[in-house]
């Protein structure tokens, strides 16, 4: 991916990060992603996982109790701050 495209994507996501959790789309989007992961991967309580592009952590927060450890990170600083 070109640097220009990466910067453009980062700026776009940075602009919506502050209000994402309050968006009416966020819970539906999170449920669909969480269900798709649960259907595709039989999570085990002794597993460790990495969620790259975690956004504000809505999906990871629901999956984390099913894992031993979840490391969540996002290249958009505003998103990542909300995952602690």
Specify the pLDDT at position 83: 54
Supply the pLDDT for residue 11.
Answer: 76
CATH label of the domain that carries residue 51: 3.40.50.150
Domains identified in the chain, total number: 1
Nearest Cα to 22, choosing from 45, 56, 52? 56
Residues 5-29 have pLDDT tens digits of 677 777 777 777 667 667 777 777 7
Q: Which residues contact 59 (CB under 8 A, 6 or more apart)?
A: 30, 33, 34, 37, 51
DSSP annotation of 35 = H
Question: Who has greater pLDDT, 25 or 58?
Answer: 58
Domain residues for the domain of 45 are: 3-81
pLDDT digits (tens, 9 = 90+) for 28-56: 777 888 889 888 999 999 999 999 988 88
């Amino acid at each position: 991916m070109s640097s220009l495209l990466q910067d453009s994507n980062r700026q776009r996501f940075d602009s919506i990060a502050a209000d994402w959790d309050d968006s009416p789309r966020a819970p539906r989007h999170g449920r669909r992603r969480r269900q798709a992961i649960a259907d595709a991967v039989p999570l085990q309580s002794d597993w460790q996982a990495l969620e790259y592009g975690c956004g504000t952590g809505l999906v990871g927060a629901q999956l984390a109790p099913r894992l031993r450890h979840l490391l969540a990170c996002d290249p958009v600083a505003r998103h990542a701050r909300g995952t602690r």
